[in-house]
Amino acid sequence: MTEVLLRIEDLVTRFYTELGVVKAVDGNSLHLGEGESLGVVGESGSGKTVTALSVMRLIENPGRIEGGRILFRGEDLLQKSERQMQRIRGKDITMVFQDSLSSLNPTLTIGEQITRVLRFHLRLSRRERWRRAVELLRQVGIPEPEQRVKHYPHQFSGGMRQRALIAMAISCSPQLLILDEPTTALDVTIEAQIFELVEELKRAFRMGTFLITHDLSVVATFCDRVVIMYAGKIVEEAPVTALYDRPLHPYTRGLLGSIPPLEGGKARLDSIPGEVPDLISLPPGCNFSPRCRLADERCWREEPPLEHPGPGRRVACWKAGETGG
Amino acid sequence: MRAYLAKRFLFGVLTLLVTSLLIFSLLRVVPGGPVDALIGEEWDDPELRAQLRRDLGLDLPFHRQYARWLGGLFRGDLGVSLVLYRGEPVGGIILERFGVTAQLAFISLTIALLVAFPAGIAAALWKERLPDHVFRIVALGGISTPNFFLGIALIVMFGVGLRLKWGVGGYVPFGEDPWGWFLRLLLPAIVLGTDHAATISRMLRASILEALGRNHVLTAKAMGLPRKEFLIQDVLRTAMVPVVTVIGNSAGALLDGAVITEILFRLPGLGSLLVQGVYARDLPLVQSVVIVAVGIRIAVNLIVDLSYALMDPRIRYGRGQ
């Protein structure tokens, strides 16, 4: 049994917009062990990124974390001061965002951007910081790191920039690395390389990874466990193999149905009809019911509780496991 | 880079040529000229008029006159003042007057920047809160108050009301009395600086707000960088390009000479020289002042464009598109 690194309990994060209150994360709980990989899957607006930003305590106006606890190595991050959080961010918990070009400062060299992170978190001399920056670039597979460290982001290719961002994120050997759709802007071949790299680093540092994606096929190769989110709520959680063998929630089945099979199979992919509901005015009952083929009276009226149908599994559905011929 | 500079230089010369032709033609179309100014319109002595026109080269056909002036410009000879400073070379006069304008512009821009930066930054960081509202109203006032009004108001307050010696304008060279020099330039510098301060601070506010929303600011926060670090390196640094454009425009406008303010405060700068030249119908003087002002503007614009590369490494001149 591994130690629990991160435990989120009943997290509620809301945004108070002019149009109304957006329930971006609505009472979710999840946990992540040391060195474990958790995939968080859902469509845009399902609350994946807001969950991650809540862990980082980077929710900004008009957003507010309104309830719950975020325990990192047993300590509640929601009780920390901004100063304490500054020491945790970048050092113990870091986050890599999806668009590597806009995520790097265009006016500083890659080396300057890595060394300034080192400057704030570690006691190293200037020379040691630069040596370490070169070493980090080498570690993430950037060729000729001695030269590359002096280059600006726009002189890097997309894949190289994402590697550089990862180098920055792991520069202080964090225990938790949050990846927010890190490969969306990249080619599939580059995507595979990036995940190989993260896998390697994860093993080398026993780093827990929190991978946000909308792509279940990425999760299959990279994660140990998956959490499926829909409209701000966790609807299903399972170990990766179990999820693929027997998805319980109709939404999960819909997501899996939209992945093309490797050989033969159907000519047409399944799609989930309709779209993600408006988070300001959610439907009564189950959030997914308006799009669900199996939904009946009860689904439209009552919200299904998150239940434990098996070891390591959770699902919130009145019709869990039914395929509905 | 060299190719870019050559191209910009060529365009600059072309612009100067076109404006020189424009100014020259306009001044010839206007009735009355140096001859009238020198002997008076009432003195009806055709003999003397013709003599004078010949002496001043005004009897030559249009294109020959223009060619003479242009040829002089290329040799660095801006001509000779006919009326205002009879016989003195215009180049020397302009240089002397430009010195005063440049000093005024320097103090004015310094004041504008000292006000605009804190105001713009505060307005952006406390968006839609008290500092933002206060600076918005002040800036609007600064932009909409005409310079002549603000100038007169300041003279009435400091010169007439408080009876301060420096409150009524005039000019003292820096070498003679540095403090008096500063005080006398202070009020006109404030008059000229207000709308520049307002424009720069508004631009800075907008630019900072845009930069705050950029992804690399979020990355900087996610790496645990303290507020001061990412505000300077990630927000201000990347917000500077449009702001510098506005500052450059202000510098160009200030260096061209300020007609009304210089006259109000009795400053012997480029702006007041232009007006005096026009009243005196001193054609060579006027056309050369204007062409010098245009040249200054072109030079300032080029410097601003080149400075972008210092702020944003993605901007490189001359290589590719």
ipTM, two decimals, is 0.90
CATH 2.160.10.10 fits B100-280, yes or no: no
Q: In this predicted model, what pLDDT tens digit does every residue of A57-73 receive, in sequence order?
A: 999 888 999 999 999 99
Mutation site for A-interface testing, chosen from B216, B217, B231 by largest number of A Cβ within 10 Å: B216
Cβ atoms within 10 Å of B30's Cβ, excluding its own: 12
Cβ atoms within 10 Å, residue B70: 16
**How far, in Å, CA of A69 to CA of B66, rounded?**
82
| CA distance linking residue B316 with residue B70, whole number of Å | 35
**B76 contacts: CB under 8 Å, gap ≥ 6:** B91
Pairing label, strands A233-239, A313-315:
antiparallel
pLDDT digit string (tens) for chain B, length 321 residues: 788 888 989 999 999 999 999 999 988 887 777 777 777 777 777 888 888 888 888 888 889 989 999 999 888 888 888 888 888 999 999 999 999 999 999 999 999 999 999 999 999 999 989 999 999 999 999 889 999 999 999 999 999 999 988 888 889 999 999 999 999 999 999 999 998 999 999 999 999 999 998 999 999 999 999 999 999 999 999 899 899 999 999 999 999 888 899 999 999 999 999 999 988 888 889 999 999 999 999 999 999 988 888 888 888 776 543
Asked if A56 contacts A178 with a C-beta cutoff of 8 angstroms, the reply is yes
Taking the CA atoms of residue A171, residue A174, residue A180 and residue A185 in that order, the dihedral angle to the nearest 10 degrees is 20
User: Which residue(s) pair with A211 in the sheet?
Assistant: A39, A179
| Contact indicator for B188, B261 with CB cutoff of 8 Å | yes
Domain ranges of chain B: 100-280
Pair type for strands A20-33 and A176-180: unpaired
Inter-chain Cβ pairs, chain A and chain B, closer than 8 A: 78
Instruction: State yes or no: cis peptide before B34, omega within 30 of 0.
Output: no
Checking phi first, is residue A111 left (phi over 0); if not, alpha (psi -120 to 50) or beta? alpha
Neighbours of B74 (CB within 10 A): 8
- How many residues are present in chain A? 325
The beta-carbon neighbor of A105 closest among B221, B224, B233 is: B233
Contacts of A169 in chain B (CB under 8 A): 223
The C-alpha atoms of residue A43 and residue A28 are separated, in whole angstroms, by 17
Edge-first strand listing for the sheet containing A313-315: A93-96, A176-180, A208-213, A37-41, A225-230, A233-239, A313-315, A307-310
Query: Which position has the higher pLDDT, A44 or A87?
Result: A87
Contacts of B237 in chain A (CB under 8 A): 105, 107-108
In this structure, the strands spanning A4-17 and A63-72 are antiparallel
Task: Decide: residue A55, CB within 10 A, 0-12 exposed, 13-18 middle, 19+ buried.
Answer: buried
